[in-house]
């Protein structure tokens, strides 16, 4: 089990790092994914670039396998890199945001779609959203967030705080927000009313950590759209 989950985590981190490189080179990570996934030795599973993995299994099992190896004097350098790469990836949306808006976010309100580490669960253990929330708060921002399942879990973890507003629906999060961060690939986020999105956001600025939309289509609609590894 440890080895299987560590292998899947490795695939995810590999694609995430390739996405960063693709973005720098002007390539499209979706084309890379289709290309390498068509090789039957590789396949398409767990090849989607994004803003990092979380949950109860992948982080725990990677750490457990590394710890077992360390106790026996065997370095697992690949898994060391997988874990380090994932920690960096959890901050990629915040890095993109601060490159655009600066690191002083006092007075800024940001919308966040998705809090659970993946769709169809309320599990927030090691979720990328937590790294992002805490980084944004540290820079003075407030966050309006929506998740179809993880609202109560978020309240349990963070309690009531002035810089976190948990709202009733995805569009409610956008009202007056300076930008939107998409963190979890819930189905409800895949086909929103884009005209309403633009009308509610203070600026049509979208940082998409799950590459839900086609970049050119978003730009044609007037969005300032920043996905992961796509042009």
Which two three-digit tokens encode residue 226? 């920043």
Is residue 98 helix, strand or coil? helix
Contact predicate 113/181, CB 8 Å: yes
How many CA atoms lie within 13 Å of 60's alpha carbon, on the beta-carbon side? 7
Burial label, 15 (beta-carbon count in 10 A; 0-12, 13-18, 19+): buried
Question: How many Cβ atoms are within 10 Å of 124's Cβ, its own excluded?
Answer: 23
Using the structure block, give the residue that is written with the tokens 């540290």: 138
List, by residue number, the catalytic residues: 57
Is residue 31 helix, strand or coil? helix
Three-class SS of 177-228: CCEEEECCCCHHHCCCCHHHHHHHCCCCEEEECCCCCCHHHHHHCCCEEECC
Instruction: Read off the DSSP letter of residue 169.
Output: S
Distances (CA, A) of 198 to 178, 179, 180, 221: 11, 10, 11, 9
């Amino acid at each position: 089990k440890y080895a299987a989950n560590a292998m899947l985590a490795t695939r995810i981190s590999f694609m995430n790092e390739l996405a960063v490189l693709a973005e720098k080179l002007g390539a499209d990570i979706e084309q890379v994914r289709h290309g390498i996934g068509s090789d039957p030795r590789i396949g398409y599973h767990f090849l989607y670039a994004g803003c990092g993995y979380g949950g109860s299994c992948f982080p725990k099992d990677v750490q457990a396998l590394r710890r077992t190896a360390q106790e026996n004097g065997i370095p697992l350098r690949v898994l060391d890199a997988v874990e380090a790469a994932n920690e960096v990836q959890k901050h990629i949306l915040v890095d993109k945001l601060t490159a655009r808006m600066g690191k002083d976010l006092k007075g800024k309100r940001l919308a966040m779609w998705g809090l659970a580490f993946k769709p169809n669960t309320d599990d927030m253990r090691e979720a990328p959203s937590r790294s992002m929330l805490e980084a944004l708060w540290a820079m003075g921002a407030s966050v309006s967030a929506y998740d179809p399942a993880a609202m109560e879990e978020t309240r349990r973890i963070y309690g009531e705080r002035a810089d976190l507003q948990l709202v009733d629906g995805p569009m409610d999060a956008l009202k007056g927000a300076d930008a939107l961060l998409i963190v979890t690939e819930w189905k409800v986020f895949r086909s929103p009313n884009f005209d309403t999105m633009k009308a509610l956001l203070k600026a049509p600025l979208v940082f998409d950590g799950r590459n839900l939309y086609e970049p050119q289509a978003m730009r044609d609609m007037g969005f300032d759209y920043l996905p992961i590894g796509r042009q």
